[in-house]
Chains A and B, each alone.
Chain A
Amino acid sequence: MILNLVRTPEGFVGTILLGLLTVWALVAPWAYPGDPLSIAGPALLPPWTDWSLPLGTDRLGRNIAAGLMYGARTSMIVGLAAAGTAILLGLLVGVAAGFIGGVVDETLMRITDAFQTVPGFLLALAFVSVVGPSLPVVVLAIALGTWPPPARIARAEVLSLRERDFVAAARSIGMRPVEIAFREVLPNALPPVLALSSVIVAAAILIEAALSFLGLGDPNRVTWGGMISEGRTVLRTAPWLSIFPGIALVTAVLGVYLTGEGVVEAHARREMLL
């Protein structure tokens, strides 16, 4: 599967970008031990002037390269955790709605509608501002705005699956409905929902960046959005402070998208061969 993925042009570029980013995030504690939020040198040092601070320093003399590395960790953790939570929540709601049907289905789908009616970013903003910014809260806030699409797809999938013969067979051998829903229907409804995951991870990374740009990220962690926001005050004299973390963001999101497209492409090619 991975070999097939790397053979597609999208998958090739995407996995390289994601691989570099993962290494970049993983080596952070060895490359720059200690707190990335502490002062490392003179303030506003331009990039490429001091080899120990390759990308320069910010307004408070903090190391930009270290910030970018630790920021990659935050972005990746939030992206994966939020997408995982959203997909799990969406699956639970979608499978319950599709499998039970009737009033439960109607209620759950109206709730899904309601969540899609409120702009996801506003919801995340309100949730973080009411509960208080910390990493788990940010993850939950992003998941709150991104679970409806997986829920809809899971429901549609379950609706078509529940009429199949293997479900009838499971029923006839006396399996309980909950057991059928989770052991027979859920695994089969999974692939189309998982196909959404790259889009949700990318969206989660972008929402996290926007939240921390507005000052609603975890204050004890370095975030790319926060770095861009801090660079804004000296945008005229030191634009690189905002430009570097932005490039990192684009790279991460692009890597996720391309890998996702590569997986779809590789899957399509395999289908064609079969």
Chain B
Amino acid sequence: MNRTLTLVRRRLLTALPVLLIVVCATFLLLEAAPGDAVDAYILSSGGGDAELIAKLRIEWGLDQSAVSRLGVYVWSLLHGDLGWSVLFGRPISSVILERLPTTLLLMTGAIALSFFLGTSLGIVAGARPGSIQDRLLSIGSLILYAIPGFWLGLVLAIIFAVHLRWLPSAGIESIASGKHGMARVLDIARHLVLPVVSLGMIYLALYIRMMRTGMAEAWRQDFVRGLRARGLPRAIIVRRIVRNALLPLVTMLGVQCAAMLGGSVVIESVFAVPGFGRLAHEAVSARDTPLLLGVILSSAVLVILVNLVVDAVYAWLDPRIGSTGASA
């Protein structure tokens, strides 16, 4: 446990400069955007004279140099203040906190689906490399890997929502259904089926391929040759191989987090899910740049946190990681 804590502390220390770079880069992007907060305010409040504009610029500190404004920006970020969203007329942090749980639910569902189904199918393929089921799964996963999630979502919506009418095609729950408790949970689950499948399929393909490759490599390793030479049943050998090939997949979970957050932008737009990803699209459509940067910053924090958890789990699973001060 002590070993895991040391690793987590070391990772947090390297995460700080990374976060600072992200903050500076997003600030640069904010500077590059045409117009500033005053322009956005004047536009949304229906105009104002030059005197008011000049007064607001001084009041909001926009007449200061870029360096001092970066200082103010970092200072307010340290206090958890991401700024004000013109689009929602609310603090950005409260909008983001409201939207985040939906997307986390969506991502958890997609990761669970792709990880468990993907590794299972990968085990089926990797148990006998070169067999018919291995070839079929390889071709299938390759095709799946080439399908853009948002298009898959649309096709699934045509089939399951328009023609078969089995599942709802938009939103996160039925509007004004008045459902409570278990009925509401089931309602949300039904709404999440299509988005989760559309978001998860590309990673399903990835996990099938990684698991299959890992197992195919393991068959050639000495310890497996040894087990086979000792005449152990195939089922037991496969189980040993699975355990070995599964470990690297855990680290992939952390890497996938960033990609999946990006993917949720399109998927949530397709299915009108009011989540964090759709917020990014709304910010772009409404040209609310501070909101967009808040979304980017909080997604970076989220990615760092998820990777930290994955690293800790990995260190706990594999005693070789972080046991000496030199590694990682």
Contact = CB atoms under 8 A, between A and B. Distances in A.
Our verdict on whether A and B bind, yes or no, reads yes
Given A110-B18, A250-B143, A122 B269 contact: no
Contacts of B157: 235
B85 to A, nearest CB: 15
Interface of A: 110-111, 113-114, 116-123, 125-127, 129-131, 202, 206, 209-210, 213-216, 228, 232, 235-236, 239, 242-243, 246, 249-250, 253-254, 257-258
A236 B148 CA distance: 20
B262 A120 contact: yes
A246 to B, nearest CB: 4
A257 B292 contact: no
Contact of A122 (B14, B142, B295): B295
B150 A210 contact: yes
Contacts, number: 126
B273 interface: no
B162 A111 contact: no
Nearest to A113: B18
B22 interface: yes
A210 B21 contact: no
Given A119-B299, A125-B281, A246-B151, 18 more contacts: A114-B21, A114-B25, A114-B300, A117-B300, A119-B258, A121-B262, A125-B280, A206-B148, A209-B148, A210-B148, A214-B265, A228-B154, A235-B154, A235-B158, A246-B154, A246-B155, A250-B147, A257-B146
A116 B299 CA distance: 11
16 contacts: A110-B17, A114-B300, A117-B19, A117-B22, A117-B304, A118-B22, A118-B296, A119-B258, A119-B259, A119-B262, A120-B259, A121-B266, A122-B265, A126-B293, A239-B158, A257-B146
> Which of A111, A131, A210, A235 counts the most B-chain CB atoms under 10 A from its CB?
A210
Interface in B19-37: 19, 21-22, 25-26, 29, 32-33
B198 interface: no
A129 B285 CA distance: 8
A213 B266 contact: yes
Contact of A214 (B146, B147, B259, B281): B281
A202 B145 CA distance: 10
B291 to A, nearest CB: 11
A19 B265 CA distance: 33
A254 B304 CA distance: 32
Interface in B276-322: 280-281, 284-285, 287, 289, 292-293, 295-296, 299-300, 303-304
